[in-house]
């Protein structure tokens, strides 16, 4: 699928759903609820204490602040592992939320300088950063994101992952992202296309910004414009994924942790091969919502109201992480904040139940929770 056409389709769909989102948000704020969602509670591991009956664990946190089709999917099957990571002191606090933002192209000037649907102006970009900062968000890099999603390692309670797709010159990063690094300490992730057409000068420019510490290059394919899907040959999928690994290692001295799926297209076979090659997460272009530890909003089927969104709910949640588009991200920032706040309140309300369950079912298998 042509990436520009996919962007246009998603942009039209997102704009059409803004009013629905606002109404849903108002419903949540007024306290009513009507969303039907699937809850996933993994089976416990370990052997219960025969003298004590474990309590019933609460269901996965739900929210009416997102489209009702985008319900949370979990990915950690071991309940004891999950609870230990949730309640170990020093880990990310319950309700920690990550908002992933996708940039494609930033042009200098105000909105009058924008000529394409997949562009935003530098003034809009500055406003996005200010909106995030004023709502208490901090940017993280890919390593922090991966460790949070897999192990609940500490990150700021309101975190944002800024991802700018495709190849860019050093001036693009120094103009638009270096100021955020200097002022806030924020890094940017670059979905780097390891193209054969990349000049030596462009490689060297990107090697410099990587070495400077504020740009984190991750994989975005090699050919790139021919997207990976279940219809792709294994030879092509391996060439895109392994080719990205080889060139990022050669030029940036590291192994990429993330595949930012070219065009946002993915499939079970590409995901399987990505995992085989050592990738840990993947990102789509479906702007479904934020993510939390063991919590990713996805849809199992194609939504007739949003036909441009690929169904992602039957895939590994860690490899279909949703991303908000830069064109309308500011309208969603407060919603993300509210989701994190409400999740924190619910999780802490059930803290004693979860700790009692852990004490009865898990402690003899996975040990004490340190610091408790």
Min mean pLDDT across 43-57, 92-106, 350-364 is at 43-57
Mean of pLDDT values over 214-222 = 98
Give the residue ranges of DSSP H helices in 30-121.
79-87
Nearest to 326 by CA among 81, 41, 104, 3: 104
> What is the predicted pLDDT for the residue at 372?
84
Q: What is the mean pLDDT of residues 309-329?
A: 97
Answer whether 103's CB lies under 8 Å from 164's CB.
yes
Residue 262 has a pLDDT of: 96
Confidence grade of residue 130 (pLDDT, cut at 50, 70, 90): very high
Would the pLDDT of 180 be above 50?
yes
For residue 214, the model assigns a pLDDT of: 98
Identify the weakest region by mean pLDDT among 9-13, 120-124, 177-181, 239-243.
9-13
Q: What is the pLDDT of residues 285-308, one digit of tens each?
A: 999 999 999 999 999 999 999 999
189: helix, strand or coil:
strand
Q: How many percent of the chain have pLDDT more than 70?
A: 87
Query: Residue 320: is its pLDDT beyond 50?
Result: yes
Give me 77's structure tokens.
């099957």
| Torsional sign, CA 245, 246, 250, 251 | negative
CA distances from 313 to 83, 270, 297, 323 (A): 23, 15, 8, 15
Average pLDDT over residues 345-367: 97
Q: What is the mean pLDDT of residues 122-138?
A: 98
**Is the Cβ–Cβ distance between 9 and 264 less than 8 Å?**
no
Distance (Å, rounded) from C-alpha 179 to C-alpha 140?
A: 15
Q: Residue 164 in contact with residue 116, Cβ under 8 Å?
A: no
Three-class SS string for 29-50? HCCCCCCCCCCCCCCCCCCCCC
% pLDDT > 90, the chain: 84
**Strand 296-298 and strand 138-139: pairing?**
unpaired
CA dist 342 and 201 (Å) reads: 48
- Per-residue pLDDT, 49: 66
189 closest CA partner among 100, 278, 128: 100
Q: Which CATH class is domain 3-22+39-366?
A: alpha beta
Average pLDDT over residues 183-201: 98
List, in order, residues 6 or more apart from 226 with CB less than 8 Å away.
232, 236, 262
Residues with Cβ within 8 Å of residue 201, at least 6 apart in sequence: none
Lowest mean per-residue pLDDT among 30-44, 92-106, 111-125: 30-44
Q: What number is the average pLDDT over the span 82-89?
A: 98
Question: Where do the domains of the chain lie?
Answer: 3-22+39-366
Q: How many CA atoms lie within 13 A of 315 on its CB side?
A: 30
Name beta bridge partners: 102.
Answer: 163, 325
pLDDT at residue 48, rounded to an integer: 63
* CA–CA separation, 23 and 31 (whole Å): 13
204 pLDDT more than 50: yes
The string of pLDDT tens digits covering residues 37-63 is 344 444 554 556 678 999 999 999 999
Please determine, for residue 108, whether its predicted confidence score (pLDDT) is greater than 80: yes
């Amino acid at each position: 699928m042509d990436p520009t056409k996919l962007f246009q389709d998603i942009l039209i769909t997102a704009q059409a759903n803004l009013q629905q989102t606002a109404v849903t948000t108002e419903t949540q704020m007024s306290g009513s609820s009507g969303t039907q969602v699937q809850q996933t509670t993994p089976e416990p591991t370990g052997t219960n204490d025969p003298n004590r009956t474990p309590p019933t664990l609460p269901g996965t946190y739900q929210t009416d602040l997102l489209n009702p089709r985008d319900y949370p999917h979990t990915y950690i099957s071991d309940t004891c592992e999950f609870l230990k990571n949730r309640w170990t002191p020093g880990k990310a606090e319950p309700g920690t939320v990550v908002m992933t933002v996708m940039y494609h192209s930033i042009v200098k000037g105000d909105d009058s300088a924008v000529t394409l649907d997949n562009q935003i102006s530098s003034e809009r970009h500055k406003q996005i950063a200010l909106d995030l900062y004023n709502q208490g968000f901090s940017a993280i890099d890919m390593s922090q994101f991966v460790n949070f999603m897999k192990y609940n390692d500490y990150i700021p309670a309101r975190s944002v992952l800024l991802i700018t797709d495709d190849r860019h010159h050093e001036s693009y990063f120094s103009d638009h992202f270096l100021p955020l690094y200097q002022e806030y300490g924020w890094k940017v992730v670059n979905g780097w296309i390891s193209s054969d057409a990349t000049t030596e000068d462009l490689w060297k420019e990107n090697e410099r910004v990587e070495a400077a510490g504020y740009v984190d290059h991750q994989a975005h394919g090699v050919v790139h414009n021919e997207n990976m899907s279940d219809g792709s040959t294994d030879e092509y999928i391996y060439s895109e994924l392994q080719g990205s690994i080889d060139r990022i290692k050669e030029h940036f001295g590291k192994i990429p942790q993330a595949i930012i799926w070219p065009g946002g297209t993915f499939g079970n076979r590409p995901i399987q091969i990505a995992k085989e090659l050592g990738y840990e997460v993947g990102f789509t272009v479906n702007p479904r919502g934020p993510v939390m530890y063991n919590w990713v909003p996805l849809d199992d089927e194609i939504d007739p109201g949003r036909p441009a969104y690929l169904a992602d709910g039957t895939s590994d949640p860690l490899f279909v992480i949703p991303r908000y588009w830069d064109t309308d991200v500011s309208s969603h920032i407060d919603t993300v904040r509210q989701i994190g706040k409400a999740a924190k309140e619910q999780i802490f309300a059930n803290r004693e139940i979860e700790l009692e369950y852990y004490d009865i079912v898990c402690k003899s298998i996975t040990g004490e929770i340190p610091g408790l």
